[in-house]
Structures are given as C-alpha cells and as structure tokens.
Amino acid sequence: MRTEGGGTTRSQRLGVFGGTFDPPHLGHLIIATELRHALSLDRVLFVPAGRPPHKRAQIIGEDERRLAMLRLALADAPNFDVNLVDLDRHGPSYTADTIDLLHEQLQPAELVFLMGEDSLRDLPAWHEPERIVARAELGVARRPGVELDLAAIYSAVPTACGRVHLVDVPEIGISSRDLRRRVADGRPIRFQVPRSVEDYIRRHGLYREASPVRPTPQPEQV
C-alpha cells in the first residue's frame, strides 16, 4: 500500500481516482484538476487498478507499462500522486476493499472517491456500495447525456445521502479505448496524452495491433 511522494497525509482531504489508465490521457488530468479545485482537495491519489472485476473480459496493459505511463503523466503535477494499493494485492480490485485499505493506510485523512456521473448511476449495483460511502465522500464529474435519479440512488444506498458532490467539468471527448484504436490505426494522439506518454507509447510499440472487440464493461457486481 504505497503512495509515491506527497509526504504526510495528516488532516488532509484526499481525492481517490481509480482507473486502468491504459493509457492515461489529458482527460484524466483535467477531471482530476477540476474535482480537486471544486472539492478543496489537498491532493489526488491516482490508483491504477490491479484486476478490476467489471473488466474481466478486457485485456489490460501490463502493470509495469501502465504504471510507467502514469508516472510520466503526473511528473509535472505536484498535487497528484500514485498509490499502489491495488497493484500490491491479489484478487479482484473491488472499490469497497480499496477504500477500506486506503482509510486504514491514510487515516485520519478525509477521503473523497472521484467518479463519473455514469458510475454514480450504477453505484447500487457495485460490490457493497455502503462500505464505500461509509469511508469516503463521492466527488462526481457530471457527464453529458447521463440521466441520474439521485433519489433512487439514496433509496438503494442510504448512507450516500449528503455525501455526494456533483461537479460540472469541461466536456472531454477522449477515452483510453479510442486512443488504443487510434494508435493501432496509425492515427495521431498528439495533444490527447502528455507528450512523455506519447513518446513512451511510440518507443515501446504499444497498441499497434488492433484490440479485439470486447463486451461493454459492467458495474463491479459480486
């Protein structure tokens, strides 16, 4: 359970931003920046997923290369750190387990789990969502076209009441899946990922083969 850099976490308010980051892109950085500002977070911890249960059918990049790209992407961001809690353990990376481990590791820091509005919509179907909101507030980036019924979410997960913060962020049409496809098709990714990440992808020949068709990822169910 290692956090790289950042020093002490005493009395801090920390954002927790999970993802496969395969590859990390400017959309990730913009969302983290907007949520950090809006929610008065001292730092944001980027937590690369180990074995996300809702993406079992997806081929996830080798841990080492994802971690290397994430470190490059955050190199010039003094308020962003990498935490290896998911990569350091075995088994499915359920968010509830991750938040419990981070709470134990970083207490008494306040945790805010960062997610998109579509993920909040699916929260009742996640593995033990009550454990998540018991340990962390939810910082939610609004997404265009997502229909959200907060009353239904609060009914299904009562502990979420008063712990959800919706934040307007710039609309960003960048996704890791699309970036992998663009590289495979020989199309440019300049200005969509940090230059250091682009150089790493080119230098190591990543994503050159077209990715297989994969099922739509489902919420992290039991």
Residue 218 reports pLDDT greater than 60: no
Q: Which are the contacts of 20, defined by CB distance < 8 A and separation ≥ 6?
A: 48, 49, 52, 55, 58, 60, 61, 66, 176
Contacts of 169-172 with C-beta under 8 Å, sequence gap 24+, read 169/30, 169/31, 169/34, 169/35, 169/141, 169/142, 170/30, 170/34, 171/144, 172/26, 172/27, 172/30, 172/31
Residue 217 vs residue 72, higher pLDDT: 72
**What band does 53 get if pLDDT is binned at 50, 70 and 90?**
low
Pairwise CA distance, residues 173 & 192, whole Å: 9
pLDDT single digits (tens) 143-164: 888 999 999 999 999 999 999 9
Residue 55 reports pLDDT greater than 60: no
- DSSP letters for 49-107: -SS-GGGTTS-PPPHHHHHHHHHHHTTT-TTEEEE-TTTTS-S---HHHHHHHHHHHHT
Alpha-carbon Rg for the chain, nearest whole angstrom, is 17
The H or E element that residue 26 is part of is helix 26-38
pLDDT single digits (tens) 162-190: 999 999 999 999 999 999 999 999 999 99
Average pLDDT score over residue span 120-144: 96
Pairwise CA distance, residues 146 & 10, whole Å: 36
